[in-house]
Structure 1
Amino acid sequence: MAPHYASPIAGLPGQMALHTGRATFNEAYALIPRGVMRDIVTSYLPHWRETRLWVIARPMSGFAETFSQYIVEVAPGGGSERPEPNPAAEGVIFVVEGQVDLTIEGQAHVLERGGYAFLPPGTAWTLANAGNAPARFHWVRKRYEAAEGIDQPPAFVTNEQNEPIRWMPGTNDTWGTTRFVEPSDLRHDMHVNIVTLEPGAVIPFEETHVMEHGLYVLEGKAVYRLNRDWVEVEAGDFMWLRAFCPQACYAGPERFRYLLYKDVNRHAKLPF
């Protein structure tokens, strides 16, 4: 049985709801709380039927530089035969609600909750919701950076329930990562993993590194260090962290898990 994953609550808050919230956007990080992902901020895409989406990251000055991330909601009967307009874009799909029929280069797959697919650039794929309930999934997109003499990675499909949690040494199996790609596989220039912290677990130092991050909280709550601030986060929140933003975490009373994007395995771009 796949765990429950958070997704946008949609709708609109009542007129008597308090305005006070946690939304933050500054030079080092952004926090988009679950409570602001409402109907009024959804968008639509060309060549997608019965589909709406929340755009939670996009390349722009002072925000995400290397990736975009959508939470896509496909109604029954919806989908696309022309989903990706950019032949240079690679993608990851992670299903958080319902199920979708995904066809990759003519091969059919059913992705249920926890389903994960990697889509290399130039891949022919389609997606449909043939069920009776809406389906929701994360779609992470990045322009693939080819490296001379290294093959492009192939497409693959799995489910997070079939992948082990790799526990960090010395943590008594309380902090670990579900890795869908081996870190040393240089064909890949991005990782989209799941990080798990058991109740009370910690990331015990301020990680400060070159990887840009997108973090979507799938389960639980925690107090997260973002640059100079300690911020309380919960299931359904999204965080963007620019490169070198200090980060750490204290997990709450329940299992805390998040979907994590980072760019890896390529030279830094130089301005000359």
Structure 2
Amino acid sequence: MMETSYYSPSGGLPGPEHLMTGRAVFTTAYAVIPKGVMADIVTSKLPFWRETRLWVLSKPLTGFAETFSQYIVEIAPGGGSDRPETEPGVEAVLFVTEGGMRLTLDGNGHELTAGSYVYLAPGTDWQVVNDGAAPVRFHWIRKAYEAVEGLDHPESFVTCESDHEPRVMPAGHDGWMTTRFVDSDDLRHDMHVNIVTFRPGSAIPFKETHVMEHGLYVLQGKAVYHLNQDWVEVEAGDYMWLRAFCPQGCYAGGPGLFRYLLYKNVNRHMKLRPGA
């Protein structure tokens, strides 16, 4: 049984005695937002959300993320939203890393705790409330759904990481595993949000170079990532954005598991005309 954990930011602000030098990197090929950047003064608020703040990790922006946005949301006790999504045609994934909250999904209640995973299909009626005594923190990954004529929309669902067995990658790489929450052959889905796990000493043994854009949030452990031409150290709480075709690989030196929440866009034609 793997000892899994989920890192969550708690805010705060470094004191004046701290050096301003940090590990943040922003390039046209990748970005690294380290956990130390996630302070109180960089949080945002949203309309129709009560007692809630969030750290925006990525957003569609020229020279940055193109297909998705990702937030870390923190809801204080008594907070929540009856109108969480204001943009039509948007799908989403929620992944809880700390605390608990109640999700109402198409009129049905679900109690979410750390490790809970929710897929929200476009047009879904949903609400959340933190009716506990401690803050809840979760990732909210949003994407404009790309409908295809002849394919039904996927259905919303609620599950938990502990209900899914990690799958070992092919070719005998038993230290590199992926927990998938959606069947990779289900073409109704145009994004996957998985959890990737490396055992100590394991690696991506080649420089992946592919069309998928990535958002990676480190849930647990530490590793060195090869991004484009740079080796970058990352640890639990750090976030990485990788543009399409950014060469990438990693080595997990240990001592424990290295795990991250991974977004990628999948299963759609490449658009050849703007707005097509």
Q: Same fold (TM over 0.5)?
A: yes
Question: What is aligned with 1:141?
Answer: 142
**Deviation per residue, 1:182-218 (Å, 9 max, x gap):** 1110010000000000011000000000000000000
Match of 1:88 in 2: 89
Question: RMSD across aligned C-alpha pairs, in angstroms?
Answer: 1.2
Q: Is the 8 A contact 1:22 1:31 kept in 2?
A: yes
Amino acid of the structure 1 residue aligned with 2:129: A
Number of equivalent positions: 272
Instruction: Name structure 2 gaps, 5 residues minimum.
Output: none
Runs of 5+ consecutive residues of structure 1 not aligned to the other structure? none
| DSSP-derived class of the 1:116 partner | strand
How many Å separate the matches in 2 of 1:207 and 1:36? 28
Structure 2 Cα separation of the partners of residues 123 and 264 of structure 1? 21
Once the two structures are superposed, what CA deviation does each residue of 1:116-147 show, in whole Å capped at 9, x if it has no partner? 00000110000010110000000000000001
SS in 1 for 2:162: helix
Q: 1:57 & 1:44 partners in 2: Cα distance?
A: 15
Q: Distance in 2 between matches of 1:25 and 1:86?
A: 28
The aligned residue for residue 104 of structure 1 is 105
Given that residues 174 and 198 in structure 1 are in contact (C-alpha distance below 8 angstroms), is that contact kept between their aligned partners in structure 2?
Answer: yes
* Equivalent AA in structure 2 for residue 164 of structure 1: E
Opposite residue 267 of structure 1, the aligned amino acid is H
After TM superposition, the runs of 4+ consecutive aligned structure 1 residues lying more than 6 A away are none
Shift in Å at residue 73 of structure 1? Answer: 0.1
Supply the AA of the counterpart residue of 1:120. Answer: A
Instruction: Note the C-alpha offset of 1:9.
Output: 3.8
C-alpha separation between the residues in 1 aligned to 2:141 and 2:7? 17
- The two structures have a TM-score, normalised by structure 2, of 0.96
Q: Which residue of 2 aligns with 1:69?
A: 70
Aligned to 1:194: 195
Say if 2:264 is the partner of 1:259: no
Shift of 1:12: 0.5
Give the drift of 1:173.
2.3
Which residue of structure 1 lines up, in the alignment, with residue 48 of structure 2?
Answer: 47
Partner-residue secondary structure (3-state), 1:202: coil
1:106-125 pair list within 5 angstroms: 106-125=107-126
In structure 2, what is the equivalent of residue 37 of structure 1? Answer: 38
Deviation, 1:172, is 5.1
SS at match of 1:203: coil
CA distance in 2, matches of 1:80, 1:63: 29
1:115-264 matches, within 5 Å, as 115-171=116-172, 173-253=174-254, 254-264=256-266
SS of 1:66's equivalent in the other structure is: coil
Tell me how far 1:4 sits from its aligned partner. Answer: 2.2
The alpha carbon displacement at 1:14 in A equals: 1.4
Aligned partners of 1:98 and 1:135 also within 8 Å: yes
User: What do residues 218-272 of structure 1 show as CA deviations (whole Å, max 9, x unaligned)?
Assistant: 0000000100101000000000000000000000211000000000000001027
Contact 1:9 1:35 in 2 (8 A): no
Instruction: Give the deviation of 1:96 after TM superposition.
Output: 0.2
Deviation of 1:20 after TM superposition, in Å, equals 1.6
* Pair 1:13-2:14 in alignment: yes
Q: Secondary structure at the match of 2:204?
A: strand
